[in-house]
Amino acid sequence: MACVITPATAEEVPQLIDFATEIFGEPARTIAEGEFPTAFTAARCPTSLLVARQYGEIVGLAGVMEDYIYIDTFCICWVGVKKSLRGQGIGSTLMQAAINHASTLIKRDKGSIVLVAEEKNLTYYARFGFSGNTPIHPYLDNPHPHFLITKPIWPHKQSA
Ligand SMILES: CC(C)(COP(=O)(O)OP(=O)(O)OC[C@H]1O[C@@H](n2cnc3c(N)ncnc32)[C@H](O)[C@@H]1OP(=O)(O)O)[C@@H](O)C(=O)NCCC(=O)NCCS
């Protein structure tokens, strides 16, 4: 069954924190607790949370964060799909929705998406047009190599 992607509501935040913790592990909980509520409270550059659902159940998540300083620059983060449902296209649907969402937020004629990817996911993100290989310092909770990758985007008018 295809998933349905909608922007998160403030009421969903506790569920989304649990979901992110299930996908990314317990150390992610504190980060999600600090970040997810800002989607609804930040006066500037809130993180947009996109939720994938099947039969009403949360099965995937993606975040789109606007850079605070650099105009038309976005970060896609928190991309995760429920383990038992991976390999069915939910991640691709979420990635496309996140890219489209960033494209609707562009104020000028061109923008960029940056993303920090674990080395094992680089070929996955290449499918969506991301490239680059700038190494990022190791994370305390995830010592595997990570890289900064990027993709240019152009304005996308949201359909009515
Ligand atoms: C990465 C992730 C979001 C992919 O979600 P998904 O729903 O399984 O992805 P899709 O079903 O859309 O995959 C589309 C294709 O990419 C391939 N693919 C999936 N994960 C991949 C990976 N890590 N590396 C390379 N290819 C991958 C699939 O095999 C599929 O190939 P096909 O079209 O030839 O069948 C999911 O594996 C996940 O939640 N991982 C744990 C969290 C994580 O690592 N997030 C990324 C943070 S850097």
4-153 is classed CATH 3.40.630.10: no
Which residues are registered as beta bridge partners of 149? Answer: 115
Pocket of ligand 1 (CB under 6 A): 23, 79-81, 86-92, 117-118, 120-121, 123-124
pLDDT along the chain (160 residues), means of 10: 93 97 94 92 89 96 94 96 97 97 95 95 97 88 91 80
Question: Please, what sign has the CA dihedral across residues 19, 21, 23, 24?
Answer: positive
How many angstroms separate the alpha carbon of residue 119 from the centre of ligand 1? 13
CA distance 157 to 160: 9
**Cα 70 from Cα 153, distance rounded (Å):** 14
Q: What is the pLDDT of residue 158?
A: 60
The reported pLDDT for the residue numbered 139 is 78
Torsion of CA 116, 120, 122, 127, to 10 degrees: -130
In this prediction, residue 156 carries a pLDDT of: 82
Using the mean position of ligand 1's atoms as its centre, give its distance from the Cα of residue 94 in Å: 11
Measured from the Cα of 88, ligand 1's closest atom is 11
Residue nearest to atom 30 of ligand 1 (CA): 87
Whole-number pLDDT of residue 159: 57
